[in-house]
Amino acid sequence: MREKTELYLITQDYPYGHLEDSFIGPEYPYLCERFHVSMIAAEVAPAAKLRPEAEIREKGMEACIIPTRQSAGEKLLSLLRFLLEKDCYRELASIWKSGERIPQRIYRALMFGAAAETFYRRLKKRISLTKNTRALFYFYWFDYKCFGLVMHRRRFPNIKIVSRTHGYELYDERELYGRQFFKPQTDAGLKRLIFAAQFAKDYYLARYRLTDGEKYPLHRLGVPDKGVTGEGRRAAYRGGSEFLLLSCSDTGQVKRIDRIIDGLAAVTTAKVHWVHIGGGENLAGLREQAQKKLDGKDNIRYEFAGTLLNTEVIAYYRAHYVGCLITTTQSEGGSPVAVQEALSFGVPVIATAVGELRQMVEGNGILLSEKPTAEETAQAVERMAGCYGTDDYFQMCEKSLGIFEEKFDERRNFTALAEELTQLW
């Protein structure tokens, strides 16, 4: 039996924090089947502890922290080192040529490069990286950490570098000054740049005028098969006068939870129980908005369940008959796991027609416009609640399950990804 290749999976906080739990948690075991995997978390406190539930789920997990926070002296030293790199001046020239926000973008690019340099040197020291190291480096995010190793890759002839890309580190409009930094330079050092959504891949290839090929594979994320069938979904229905509407996301402005509240305030005929899972910025403001607009409505109940672990979200689906998932997000760079989970349980979806959501709602729910009004959202909720428990509703449940099986079954998706990474050797 061939010895497993070393794979370093570089994350933000997994398995110490919860940010990437629903993304990396399901993928990790499939990588372990083919590689010896070591996890490196870069954006957690140096003293952070491995989560107990992660230790239980992934017995024998090897993980460490390489903190990226820099003192003023470290930042200055890294910046000076970065100023010796050719990649630095290629980016500065491109920024100057663009003619837009030049001072801000130059500053941001230099700080990006200094952070990349710091991460590279700490990585090199932490894992004793040498010219004889034979390993695959898998960056879960296409950001400064990936760029840091790519800058110095020529010193290590036996390593290969791949990266996923998702949203904040892909789309120009998601960056502070409307520009993603060092993308062509980073791309040049990768064996694979892996996309989780066709929309994201199309955007990237068009943005940088690239030709599609094996370097840019589409490997969607996935969730486990829950064993739900259309017949089982129909049999579990018990009726009732209340329609359970679920939303599941952080409460940042881009998710536009306020649009759901406004829509529910305009619902007149349906009796709805809305539950939001997720926390974050503006949660207090959303609670206040809900109290103001929904408390006086006899046909609407609501609750904010707060942040839950992925396992707790699954438990919620198993304990409750969710009538529909709703998202009014402003943008969606990938295939949101919250929607994938709903599909795996055969739950219909109401979603804005943005990004990959257009491919996730096809006959199994209702697509809203990109900027839905309160009336449009209310009409969608009333239509869904109005057909709840009918043949039309259960046909949507069947179609949700079909989309899950075709596109988001984790065993199929992660097995294919792990196999492709193995073939790099």
**pLDDT tens column, 322-372:** 999 999 999 887 788 999 999 999 999 999 999 889 999 999 999 999 999
Q: Are residues 241 and 307 in the same domain?
A: yes
Mean pLDDT confidence for 82-105 = 96
- Here the CATH number for the domain that contains residue 59 is 3.40.50.2000
Q: Are residues 290 and 396 in the same domain?
A: yes
pLDDT of res. 245: 98
Q: Are residues 201 and 266 in the same domain?
A: no
CA 139 to chain CA centroid, nearest Å: 14
For the chain, the domain total comes to 2
| 176/396: higher pLDDT | 396
Q: Are residues 43 and 183 in the same domain?
A: yes
Q: Are residues 209 and 80 in the same domain?
A: yes
The C-alpha atoms of residue 360 and residue 400 are separated, in whole angstroms, by: 8
The C-alpha atoms of residue 6 and residue 38 are separated, in whole angstroms, by: 8
DSSP codes of every residue in 79-112: HHHHTT-HHHHHHHHHHHHHTSSHHHHHHHHHHH
Which residue's entry shows tokens 């998601």? Answer: 174
pLDDT of res. 256: 95
Look over the chain and give the mean of its residue pLDDT values, rounded to a whole number. 93
Residue 1 has pLDDT above 60, yes or no: no
Q: Which of 19-28, 239-248, 266-275, 337-346 has the lowest mean pLDDT?
A: 19-28
Mean pLDDT confidence for 47-76 = 80
pLDDT of res. 18: 81
The C-alpha atoms of residue 323 and residue 346 are separated, in whole angstroms, by: 10
Residue 241 has pLDDT above 80, yes or no: no
CA dihedral 350, 351, 357, 362 (to 10 degrees): 30
The model carries a pTM of 0.89
Q: Are residues 16 and 125 in the same domain?
A: yes
pLDDT of res. 56: 52
Q: Are residues 164 and 63 in the same domain?
A: yes
Residue 277 has pLDDT above 70, yes or no: yes
CA 143 to chain CA centroid, nearest Å: 14
pLDDT of res. 248: 96
Q: Confidence band (pLDDT; 50, 70, 90) for 422?
A: very high
Which residue's entry shows tokens 């409009």? Answer: 173
pLDDT in tens, 20-36: 888 898 899 999 999 99
pLDDT of res. 126: 94
pLDDT of res. 399: 98
Q: How far apart are the first and last CA of the chain?
A: 15
Mean pLDDT confidence for 274-300 = 95
pLDDT of res. 309: 84
Q: Confidence band (pLDDT; 50, 70, 90) for 240?
A: confident
SS3 285: helix
Q: Are residues 168 and 282 in the same domain?
A: no
pLDDT in tens, 120-160: 999 999 999 999 999 999 999 999 999 999 999 999 999 99
Mean pLDDT confidence for 279-304 = 95
Q: Are residues 270 and 205 in the same domain?
A: no
The C-alpha atoms of residue 414 and residue 261 are separated, in whole angstroms, by: 36
pLDDT of res. 60: 66
pLDDT of res. 333: 72
Q: Are residues 165 and 240 in the same domain?
A: no
pLDDT of res. 55: 62
The C-alpha atoms of residue 66 and residue 44 are separated, in whole angstroms, by: 8
Q: Confidence band (pLDDT; 50, 70, 90) for 301?
A: very high
422 contacts: CB under 8 Å, gap ≥ 6: 5, 34, 35
Query: What percent of the chain is modeled with pLDDT above 70?
Result: 98
Helix axes 144-151, 102-126, angle to 10 degrees: 70
pLDDT of res. 174: 87
Which tokens hold the place of 256?
A: 């536009």
pLDDT in tens, 308-326: 988 899 999 999 999 999 9
Mean pLDDT confidence for 6-27 = 90
Residue 40 has φ and ψ, to the nearest 5°, of -130, 110
Q: Are residues 279 and 197 in the same domain?
A: no
pLDDT of res. 25: 85
Q: Confidence band (pLDDT; 50, 70, 90) for 249?
A: very high
Mean pLDDT confidence for 379-398 = 97
Q: Are residues 205 and 184 in the same domain?
A: yes
Which tokens hold the place of 265?
A: 């305030």
pLDDT of res. 413: 96
The C-alpha atoms of residue 259 and residue 253 are separated, in whole angstroms, by: 10
Structural domain of residue 157, as residue ranges?
Answer: 5-222+410-423
CA dihedral 184, 189, 194, 198 (to 10 degrees): 30
DSSP H helices, 266-390, are 283-294, 310-319, 337-344, 357-360, 374-387
